[in-house]
Every structure is written in structure tokens, then in C-alpha cells.
Amino acid sequence: MKQSDAPLVDAVRLARSQGRHPLLVPGHKMQYAQNSEVIGYDLLHDLVRDDVSLQGGADDLAMTTKVLESAESLYAAAIGADHTRFLVGGSTQANISSLLTISQPDRLVAVDRTSHRSALAGLVLSGAMPEWIFPEVHADYGVPVGVRPSSVAALSSDVTAVWVTSPSYVGTLSDIAALAEAAHALGVPLMVDQAWGAHLDYLPGSGALALGADIAVTSIHKALMGYSATAIVSCRGGLIDPHRLDRSVDLTATTSPSATLLASIDATRHVMLTDGVAALARVAAATAEARDIVRRVAGVVVIDESSVGCPVDPNKLTLWLPETGVTGTMLSDALWQRRIGVEAADSDTIVMTMSPVDSSEWIVDVARMVAALIESMRGRPRTPAPVATWQVRPEVVMSPREAMFAPRRRISLREAVGQVSAEQFCPYPPGVPLLGPGERVTEALVDAIGVAGTLGRVAYCSDPTLATIEVVNQ
């Protein structure tokens, strides 16, 4: 097949055009149930009419049409991978599958502490033991500026793989080439959670695999044009067994994937190879202009290489605001009232994500609006809020898997000091664990959780009031 082909897209179109009434799942029966006698079905009809099943529709996992495999092979070739799998469980599924591929029960895996909470899920399911590695954090702005290669070089000789996240949630990039070299010097693979960097695969020498990573996780729905929850996992080189990756993906995947979602990955590749690279250049230029516009507002710090000293995703506009007296939440609310949603906002920062489909003119117009809003809401400069995630370093007492299945009890958070947590606390955004299962609760952690709670940023814990915690019943 050629890169100009889109086999999954063609298969979905064919399945729709054939007009077969399905006597199989999904039970909504697409548009063919439009004469249903079920009262209220018309409410559902518009939502499901384009949902083509892969099995018995566009492809069949048990048969030999291999449409999905063809689309995956085309994507792999487009980004220089040896092997690519399409997923409908997001980068969460891809991260779990990757960890099942690169780890062993009770063996050490070095994991970047900026990793998404799905890293903990992968550790629980695999039984691996984490050796946490920490990013450098900018002293003034509190944002991670990448994992240093020296941190990888200093890892235990028992480590079996290295996992880092790049880009970060705010757009900062680690030196993947140097990290790959450091990991390979230890004889272990480098896995990169590139969930926020799908577009980097289409910029020469920018994608994780092109820079030397052995396995990469990529959300197609974040920075590119796939349906929500679409992602890929890809590998390259001799340190990853593609058959084991397949087994891991199949272990975590639904057997009823939507062909429509999968076809959006296929379509995204086709679009990116048609006009996507030129579109990325246009968006990057417009985002650079947007940064310059907002940078001229007194007190605003634009998170880019000039301010934090590391490369930053060209499609991200991240602002640090304490010197303006405006909070990211205030600015986000003001933009929402003007029918503009942002990726994330907290007391100090606001994050905006651009994609190839955003017009240059619109990006620049939004930057002008942001600049005007900051000026109109300006207040007295304030002290930045502490970033809880980077304040403390955990003591790992047992594996996350052991803590997950251990007997547990609920006690007050203050009473838990010295105990082993049986759950996770993740300030959100960005969903990076502050405390994970199997880690010792300390006074510093309790204080940091309290700060995060005051800012309204803790999610993914069993007690949303933060008054209690589940600990291992030792």
C-alpha cells in the first residue's frame, strides 16, 4: 500500500454505503434503526449513526481482511517505526501496554515522576517496582524542565527499563537523544510517554523514536486530529520484542473497538502527510507570534526556551501569571465567557494547546484577547503558589501492586504519617502522582496534599475532602 491510501477510512465508508442491517453488536444498530419503535430513540440516533463496528463491519479481528494491520503498517512507516498499534483506550492503555512490555514482576523500572497516573496502573498490573527519577524544576516558575541524562546514568544497575515523559503537560521537552544514549549505556530500553507530542513525529528529527527511544506512546487525539481516546504505541530497534508488545496491547484492549475511532487515526496520518507538515509550520509561526504578543504584557512570563532554558513544544502557549495579579483560573473563566476553552489553568499558570487545524489568524487574535484581558484584570503581584508535586520525594516501601492488594484501613490523613499509602493522590492538572500506593506518608506529604487541596487541585483519591486516607493495614 501507499501512504496516499487510507485503508481503514475506505473500509468505514464502504461499510456505511452497503447499508446492511446488522444482526450483531453494537445494539444501537447505527442509522438502520431509524424506524425503531423505541420511544426516545431519536435522541440517540444522531449520536450513534456513524459508529461502525470493526468486527463484522469495517474489518473482523478473527478473519483475514487485515484492514487494521494495513493501516497500522502505514502509520509505522510514516513515523519511522518498526511496529505500530492503534488503540482506543488513549495513552492510558498505551502506557499500561508499554510497561507490560518492558518490565518484569518485582524488577526495577526507572520511572519519571512527571509520568501520568496511568504509570501507577501499569506498575500495579505488571508487578514491577519503581525507581523514581525526578525532573529538574525551574526555581522561579515551578515547571519541570526535563529529566537530566545524568539522572539516568546514576540509576541502579538492577533497572530493566527507563520511562520518561516528554513533552510535559506545560510543553517542556527533555533531551530524548541524550536520555536514549544514557539508557542504552545501561543496556536497557528507553520508553517515552509522548502523549502530548503526536505532531512531533511529523517534524524531522523531533519524534521520540527518531531521537533514539525504543518505544513511544502517542495520543492522536491531543495534538492531532483523532477522535477522543485514540492513541498509538510504536517501537523501533532490537530492545523491544514487537510480539510481546502485541500481546500486551491485546491484553489491555477491547475486543469491540470502534472502526470509526480507529479510522480517525488512519485519516490523521493521511492528512498529516498531505498538508499536515505545512500546517504545523503555520501553527508554530502563529504560536511564536502569539507568545511575542503576550510577552509584551508587563509581568507575564511565557514558558519557552528563553525563560526556562529548555526546548518547548512549538504548539503550546503556557503563561506564568503571578506578577500580573491575575490567576490562570480568572483568565480561563474570562475566556470561557467568550466561548474559548483552554487546556488547563490554576492559580499561577494557564495552558493553551494549538493543533494543525487552528488558523494562524485565530491564534494571533486569541493572543491579543488574552493580553487585553490580563491588562483589564490586573492586580497586585502575588506570591506564587507552591507546586506540591515537586516538593517532596517519596519513600517506596512496597510495590504498587503489593499495596493495591494488601488489606487496608481508613484513617485520618494526619494520623497516617509513618503509614504506607494504599492509594494515590494526584494534583490535577496534570494528574501526576504526589503520593502513590506503596509509598510512606510523611509530614511533608500531608502538608503538600493540604496545599494542593486548598488550590482545588487534588483528584484521583478516595476521599475528596482529603480528611482521610486508605493505608496498608500492617
Do residues 229 and 195 lie in contact, with contact meaning Cβ atoms separated by under 8 Å? no
Whole-number pLDDT of residue 10: 84
Whether the Cβ atoms of residue 390 and residue 137 lie closer than 8 Å to each other:
yes
The yes-or-no verdict on residue 50 having pLDDT over 90 is: no
Q: How far apart are CA 40 and CA 37, in angstroms?
A: 9
Using one digit for the tens of pLDDT, what is the confidence trace for 179-195?
A: 999 999 999 999 999 99
Q: Looking at the domain that runs over 281-377, which CATH code has it been given?
A: 3.90.1150.10
pLDDT value, residue 366? 98
Average pLDDT over residues 420-426: 93
Give the span between the Cα atoms of 400 and 435, in whole angstroms. Answer: 11
Average pLDDT over residues 29-37: 62
Q: Which of 236, 266, 233, 225 is nearest to 250 (CA)?
A: 233
Q: In this structure, what C-alpha cell is assigned to residue 180?
A: 536514549
pLDDT given for residue 217 in this prediction:
98
- Give me the pLDDT at residue 173, please: 98
Give the Cβ contact number of residue 61 at 10 Å. 14
Alpha-carbon Rg for the chain, nearest whole angstrom, is 23
The single-letter code of the amino acid at 75 is Y
Given pLDDT bands bounded at 50, 70 and 90, which one contains residue 431? Answer: confident
Q: What phi and psi values does residue 319 have, to the nearest 5 degrees?
A: -120, 140
* Spatial CA neighbour of 97 closest among 267, 280, 249: 249
**Which part of the chain is CATH 3.40.640.10?**
7-270
Answer whether residue 174 shows pLDDT above 60. Answer: yes
Q: CA angle 115-342-385, nearest 5°?
A: 60
pLDDT of residue 63: 42
CATH code of the domain occupying 7-270: 3.40.640.10
Spatial distance between the Cα atoms of 372 and 359, rounded to a whole number of angstroms? 20
pLDDT tens digits along 259-273: 899 999 999 999 999
Per-residue model confidence (pLDDT) at position 51: 80
Mean pLDDT of 93-102: 98
Rounded to an integer, the average pLDDT of 399-409 is 96
- Return the higher-pLDDT residue of 61 and 163: 163
Would the pLDDT of 310 be above 70? yes
So what's the pLDDT on residue 287?
Answer: 98
Q: Summarize the confidence of residues 410-425 as an average pLDDT.
A: 96
Give the strand pairing for 301-302 and 231-235. unpaired
Report pLDDT digits (tens) over 202-223.
999 999 999 999 999 999 999 9
Answer whether residue 41 shows pLDDT above 70: no
Output the pLDDT for position 1. Answer: 82
* Mean pLDDT across the chain: 91
What residue spans in the chain does CATH classification 3.90.100.10 cover?
388-472
Distance in Å from the first CA to the final CA of the chain: 59
What pLDDT does residue 441 have?
97
Q: Picking from 328-337, 352-361, 371-380, 459-468, which range would have the lowest pLDDT averaged per residue?
A: 459-468
Residues facing 109 on adjacent strands: 130
Residue 435 is given by DSSP the state B
Confidence of residue 89 (pLDDT cuts 50, 70, 90): very high
Which of 114, 113, 91, 94 has its CA nearest to residue 102? Answer: 94
CA dihedral (299, 302, 308, 313) in degrees, to 10, reads 170
Nearest to 257 by CA among 229, 281, 238, 218: 229
**In the numeric block, which cell numbers belong to residue 124?**
500495579
Q: Is the pLDDT of residue 295 over 80?
A: yes
Angstrom CA distances, 57 to 17, 68, 180, 266, stand at 11, 12, 41, 16
Question: pLDDT-derived band of residue 11, with 50, 70 and 90 as boundaries?
Answer: confident
- Whole-Å CA distances, 253 to 68, 76, 262, 267, 408: 14, 19, 13, 21, 30
Angle at 229 between CA 362 and CA 208, to 5 degrees: 80
What's the number of CA atoms in the CB half-sphere (13 Å) around residue 245?
24
Give the up-direction half-sphere exposure of residue 84: CA atoms within 13 A in the CB hemisphere: 27
pLDDT tens-digit series, residues 367-392: 999 999 999 999 999 999 877 666 67
Q: What is the mean pLDDT of residues 79-93?
A: 97
* Residue 304 to residue 157: CA distance in whole angstroms: 35
Number of residues written out for the chain: 474
Residue 15 sits at φ, ψ, to 5 deg, of -60, -40
Pick from 315, 430, 294, 438: nearest CA to 366: 294
What pLDDT does residue 232 have? 99
Question: How far is Cα 117 from Cα 389, in angstroms, rounded to an integer?
Answer: 12
Are the C-beta atoms of 356 and 268 separated by less than 8 Å?
Answer: no
Confidence (pLDDT) at 292: 98
More reliable by pLDDT, 26 or 377: 377
The mean per-residue pLDDT over the stretch 299-323 comes to 98
Q: Which residue has the higher pLDDT, 197 or 20?
A: 197
**Beta carbons of 165 and 114 less than 8 angstroms apart:** yes
* pLDDT band per the 50, 70, 90 thresholds, residue 61: very low
| Residue 463 cell numbers, joined | 476521599
CATH 3.90.1150.10 in the chain, residue ranges: 281-377
Rounded Cα–Cα distance for residues 135 and 125 (Å): 25
In which band, very low, low, confident or very high, does the pLDDT at 62 lie, cut at 50, 70 and 90? Answer: very low
Task: Please check whether the domain covering 388-472 is classified as CATH 3.90.100.10.
Answer: yes
